[in-house]
């Protein structure tokens, strides 16, 4: 794989809780690891994200009496899916998959650590206003194109890809290195929205 010096790979949330056996397992989530490892060192800039929730996070169904996982509720910042407790700070579930090559990472960006707001995207909290700082880092490294990999295609990967496109980056989504939750057709909807935004879907 040939990439330019202005390219970055974003490895989104390849953590135990999103892999088989985890609290919010994505079907085949662990299957992305070999492909990410294979292409990782081809990129001059490598960013990993890590869901990093405190106990009792507002996106957890357990924080809302009478609610169950995967219900949709309205938060101050908009609609929010309620999730099973997952990727709790310092837990085994929050660790990266043991076979993922994390050593080459330039940056590990932890998100979702604010108790009152979820953070799907690597660029913004779910209010779409509060930045994570990733845009500034990529600009400082001269990055113009990003390639998205990781979990899950229809949530954190898609939100990251859409934000990257909105910020003016060229964006590739490597389908072979992603897997989806596909909640009520969310995968097809996310793929269509990304294509409409100019995201290149590549094998």
111 is catalytic: yes
Domains and CATH numbers, the chain: 7-51+90-202 (3.40.50.850)
Q: Which residues of 69-102 are buried (b: 16+ CB within 10 A; e: fewer)?
A: eeeeeeeeeeebbbbebbbbeebebbebbeebbb
Would you say 79 and 12 are in contact if contact means Cβ atoms under 8 Å apart?
Answer: no
156 is catalytic: yes
Among 81, 109, 100, which Cα is nearest to 150's?
A: 100
pLDDT at res. 4: 78
pTM value is 0.96
Give the rounded percent of residues in the chain with a pLDDT score beyond 70. 99
pLDDT at res. 1: 59
Dump pLDDT digits (tens) for 136-184.
Answer: 999 999 999 999 999 999 999 999 999 999 999 999 999 999 999 999 9
Which one of 17, 51, 87, 111 is the catalytic residue?
A: 111
Dump pLDDT digits (tens) for 92-148.
Answer: 999 999 999 999 999 999 999 999 999 999 999 999 999 999 999 999 999 999 999
pLDDT at res. 2: 63
Which one of 13, 17, 30, 154 is the catalytic residue?
A: 13
């Amino acid at each position: 794989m040939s990439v330019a010096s202005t390219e970055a790979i974003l490895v989104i949330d390849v953590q135990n809780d999103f892999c088989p056996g985890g609290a919010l397992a994505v079907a085949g989530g662990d299957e992305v690891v070999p492909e990410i490892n294979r292409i990782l060192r081809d990129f001059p800039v490598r960013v990993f994200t890590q869901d990093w929730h405190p106990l009792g996070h507002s996106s957890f169904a357990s924080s809302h009496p009478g609610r169950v996982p995967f219900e949709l509720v309205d938060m101050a910042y908009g609609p929010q899916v309620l999730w099973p407790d997952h990727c709790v700070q310092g837990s085994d579930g929050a660790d990266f998959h043991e076979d993922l090559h994390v050593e080459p990472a330039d940056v590990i960006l932890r998100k979702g650590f604010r108790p009152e707001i979820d953070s799907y995207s690597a660029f913004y909290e779910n209010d779409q206003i509060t930045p994570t700082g990733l845009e500034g880092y990529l600009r400082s490294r001269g990055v113009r194109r990003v390639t998205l990999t990781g979990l899950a295609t229809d949530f954190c990967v898609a939100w990251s890809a859409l934000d990257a496109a909105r910020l003016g980056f060229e964006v590739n989504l490597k389908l072979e290195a992603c897997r989806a939750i596909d909640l009520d057709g969310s995968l097809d909807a996310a793929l269509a929205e990304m294509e409409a935004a100019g995201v290149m879907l590549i094998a």
